[in-house]
Structure 1
Amino acid sequence: MNRMNQINLDVLMEISKNIYRTVHPFLGSREGGKAIGIGFGGDLTRFIDQIAEKAVVKYLKEKGLSCILIGEEGGVQKIGENPEGYLIVDAVDGTTNAVRGINFSSASLAAASKDSLEDVEAAAVINLFDGELYVAEKDKGARLDGKRITTSKASELKNSIVSIDVSSTPERLNRVIPVMKTARRVRSLGAASLEIC
């Protein structure tokens, strides 16, 4: 990770674990599912989303870390006086699953030195139900709970399992039908970041 950027893989791991501890008691609860408003991303914000993203901000401030935080609920926020790098967060990916107690929801975080996806240096995804932690660093590969993992060896779509958000508009769905027809299997489990792990 760029030395100028204070948000590194260790920080992402700590924030992930902090989100897990914060939201875990509210999984499958009525309180966790309480509607709060509409988030920056345009989706309904529920209590569990709000407390998860607030936990991120609190952690950054307590540790004296400075960055530009881009969150699904709160949008773009300057944290600290001299932001170094970007922290992109979906503190609860799969909110519907989380509030219904369906064991497939995660928090996803990425640290970038600049404001583009190609500048992402490290990322973390934590399963909010069991705490499994996936991490990756640019040019260093990925790990699950410390153990190295690899991508699928499938090189053709016909041999692949594809994840597609089928709750999209009919127009968007029509665009992905050719992919759905070609892929070996299509899944939509409700938490994209966890699905790609």
Structure 2
Amino acid sequence: MYEEKFLLKIAEEAARAAAEAARKVIGGGQASKIEGVGASGDTTLRVDKTAEEAILRVLENRLGSGYAVLSEEQGYRKYSADYPLFIIDPIDGSYNVKRGLLPYAVSIAIAHGGSLKDVAAGVVLPLNPSAQPYKALKGEGAFVGDRKLTIKEASPHSAPSIAINFSASTGAQIAEIVKELLKKKWKIRGYGCGSLEVAWVTEGLDASLVLGHARVIDYAAAMLIVKEAGGTVLYTPKNVELSLERKMSLIAAKNAKLAREIAETTKTHA
């Protein structure tokens, strides 16, 4: 049985290896070359494939066997054990990569069961070279680099800032939601990297809303980071299994009051 801190250290090492490999591909102008279709059904870019391969190499070199992987590109693979399960989004923000925009990140969560509640550790690493990883251990707190994250209350003197992540299928719904939030004079943002939009709730953002299309593997690590930093995460459906197919809606906020206000205002019942 592996210690959780040891597994998180390996996940961070794997994320750093993926980020370094991805930066080389991006720098070489080959990042958006299409390599096929991943297990999730999304187009696999060279940067996705390169980052995933780097992660898998670290896991194999450091663990050998006795674990499993659920990844956006290769899908589920068992290395002689069901758990720990490494839940991998090798590049979150692929569209930004294609457009030459920031941000994008590597996300890795670790679970010891088959549902979202079984996630015990996670890391989200932005790809800019100077960035520190956001990471968390269940029951032991969240950190950015070596600095412990403790969410501070949103300022009562300024309008809350909220990131919204949505798909084309929620277009009509999002139009109504934006209208309601603007009535409250909230600051609405969208960055194109869901895992970071959630993780940033631990710092500058007040909240993050993801509508209907949130794939659990993209957000598992970031959700734990927010909760361990003292924030509130609401999601629906309540029983979310760890799979490529499972999607959900979620609200991450600095506190429960703000999360409830978002749910009531947007009528999303997350």
- What is the TM-score with the length of structure 1 in the denominator? 0.85
- Tell me what 1:120 maps to: 119
- Tell me what 2:212 maps to: none
Shift in Å, 1:10:
0.9
Shift in Å, 1:135:
0.8
SS at match of 1:84: strand
- Tell me what 1:48 maps to: 47
More displaced 10-residue stretch of structure 1: 49-58 or 159-168: 159-168
Cα distance change of structure 1 residues 37 and 172 upon mapping to structure 2, 3 Å threshold = farther
- Is 1:73–2:64 an aligned residue pair? no
Asked whether the 8 Å contact 1:6–1:85 carries over to 2, the reply is no
In the alignment, the residues of structure 2 paired with residue 6 and residue 145 of structure 1 have an alpha-carbon distance, to the nearest angstrom, of 14
Shift in Å, 1:128:
1.1
Shift in Å, 1:175:
6.8
- Tell me what 1:14 maps to: 13
Written as runs of structure 1 = structure 2, the 5 A alignment for 1:160-179 is 160-169=160-169, 170-173=171-174, 176-177=177-178
- What is the TM-score with the length of structure 2 in the denominator? 0.64
Shift in Å, 1:159:
4.4
Cα distance change of structure 1 residues 111 and 48 upon mapping to structure 2, 3 Å threshold = same
- Is 1:196–2:198 an aligned residue pair? yes
More displaced 10-residue stretch of structure 1: 26-35 or 51-60: 26-35
In the alignment, the residues of structure 1 paired with residue 180 and residue 122 of structure 2 have an alpha-carbon distance, to the nearest angstrom, of 27
- Tell me what 1:185 maps to: 187
5+ residue gaps, structure 2, are 200-270
SS at match of 1:55: helix
- Tell me what 1:58 maps to: 57
- Tell me what 1:107 maps to: 106
- Structure with the bigger RCO (C-alpha within 8 Å, sep 6+) is 1
In the alignment, the residues of structure 1 paired with residue 123 and residue 81 of structure 2 have an alpha-carbon distance, to the nearest angstrom, of 24
- Tell me what 2:35 maps to: 36
In the alignment, the residues of structure 1 paired with residue 5 and residue 143 of structure 2 have an alpha-carbon distance, to the nearest angstrom, of 21
Asked whether the 8 Å contact 1:26–1:99 carries over to 2, the reply is no
AA paired with 2:19?
A: Y
Shift in Å, 1:75:
1.4
- Tell me what 1:135 maps to: 135
AA paired with 2:133?
A: L
How many pairs are equivalent? 194
> What is the root-mean-square deviation in Å for CA atoms of aligned residues?
2.6
Q: Deviations over 1:113-150 (max 9, x none)?
A: 11111111111011112242111111222111111122
In the alignment, the residues of structure 2 paired with residue 165 and residue 5 of structure 1 have an alpha-carbon distance, to the nearest angstrom, of 31
SS at match of 2:83: coil
Q: Deviations over 1:82-140 (max 9, x none)?
A: 33221111110001222333231100110011111111111101111224211111122
Asked whether the 8 Å contact 1:53–1:91 carries over to 2, the reply is yes
In the alignment, the residues of structure 2 paired with residue 191 and residue 163 of structure 1 have an alpha-carbon distance, to the nearest angstrom, of 10
Greater percentage in helix? 2
Q: Deviations over 1:47-82 (max 9, x none)?
A: 00011111222222222143221111111111x223
5+ residue gaps, structure 1, are none
SS at match of 1:97: helix
Asked whether the 8 Å contact 2:4–2:121 carries over to 1, the reply is no
AA paired with 1:85?
A: P
AA paired with 2:142?
A: A
SS at match of 1:196: helix
Q: Deviations over 1:11-39 (max 9, x none)?
A: 11111111112111122653111011222
In the alignment, the residues of structure 1 paired with residue 19 and residue 181 of structure 2 have an alpha-carbon distance, to the nearest angstrom, of 33
Asked whether the 8 Å contact 1:70–1:89 carries over to 2, the reply is yes
